[in-house]
Amino acid sequence: FSRTIAKGPDTTTWIWNLHADAHDFDSHTNDLEEISRKVFSAHFGQLSIIFLWLSGMYFHGARFSNYEAWLSDPTHIRPSAQVVWPIVGQEILNGDVGGGVPRNTNNLWFFSDLESIWNN
């Protein structure tokens, strides 16, 4: 461990400082109203990213699920909410969900809890 390197440009400290300095609103201004605006805009920006992610999850769950087949025979067909392509050994996660959906379509049946949340 070298203390001269720890404070220099060869570390990631400067990256963390970029993030910390951008969100250190007290060092930018002393105006409480401006600080409040910055905090709320950062908050709503984060919420917009979260809702964008959730809407993508709902869209892909609706597009790639076997919901209609599961409604027709819920005792023999397990719900599946996601499709996975067999990349880097992920085909081990595939399961037979029934309902004429072949095993090689890579439906992850253990995401059925996600569909049960959507149904309730």
Going from the C-alpha of 68 to that of each of 56, 61, 77, the distances in angstroms are 20, 12, 10
CB-based burial label for 21 (10 Å; 0-12, 13-18, 19+):
exposed
pLDDT at residue number 67: 76
Residue pair 107/78 in contact (Cβ under 8 Å)? The answer is no
> How far is residue 67's CA from residue 101's CA, in Å, rounded to a whole number?
12
- Give the pLDDT confidence score for residue 88 in this predicted structure: 67
Rg (CA), the chain: 24
* In the chain, where the domains are located: 1-62, 65-120
Model pLDDT, residue 105: 47
| Spans of the chain below 70 pLDDT | 1-11, 81-120
The model's pTM is: 0.50
Q: In Å, how far from its chain's centre is CA 110?
A: 17
Residue 52, pLDDT score: 95
